């Protein structure tokens, strides 16, 4: 029985880079995957997104937050955080200024 897909919701800033795509649906290969595995799958068709979300070491960039079902994965395990099947993952760019 296939598991429920994960929905990756993009902020407006990233949507502009991929022709207005607001959400990427990613099939889950099992009941759970890591944030890194999910991003690999989600960005396979949109490589420009990867450099905006992850650094050269594959870690989430400092100015980006990734929420898995409302929990901030970047405050915990980061790219090693678990993403269950059927999850909603929000990518949010931090806004700063003075």
Nearest to 65 by CA among 76, 57, 56: 76
- As a whole number of angstroms, the distance between CA 57 and CA 10 comes to 21
- Show the tokens assigned to 49: 């997104």
Task: Give pairs for 19-27: CB < 8 Å, separation 24+.
Answer: 21/46, 27/2, 27/3
- Residue 56's contacts (CB-CB under 8 Å, 6 or more residues apart) are none
The pLDDT value recorded for residue 96 is 63
Considering the entire predicted model, what is its pTM?
0.89
Statement: residue 98 has pLDDT above 70: no
Question: Tens of pLDDT along 48-68?
Answer: 999 999 999 999 999 999 999
């Amino acid at each position: 029985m296939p598991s429920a897909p994960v929905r990756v919701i993009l902020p407006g800033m990233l949507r502009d880079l991929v022709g207005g795509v607001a959400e990427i649906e990613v099939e889950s290969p099992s009941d759970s995957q890591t944030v890194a595995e999910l991003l690999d799958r989600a960005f396979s068709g949109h490589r420009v997104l990867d450099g905006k979300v992850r650094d050269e070491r594959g870690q989430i960039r400092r100015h980006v937050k990734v929420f898995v079902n409302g929990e901030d994965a970047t405050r915990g395990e980061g790219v090693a955080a678990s993403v269950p099947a059927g999850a909603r993952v929000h990518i949010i760019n931090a806004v700063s200024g003075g």
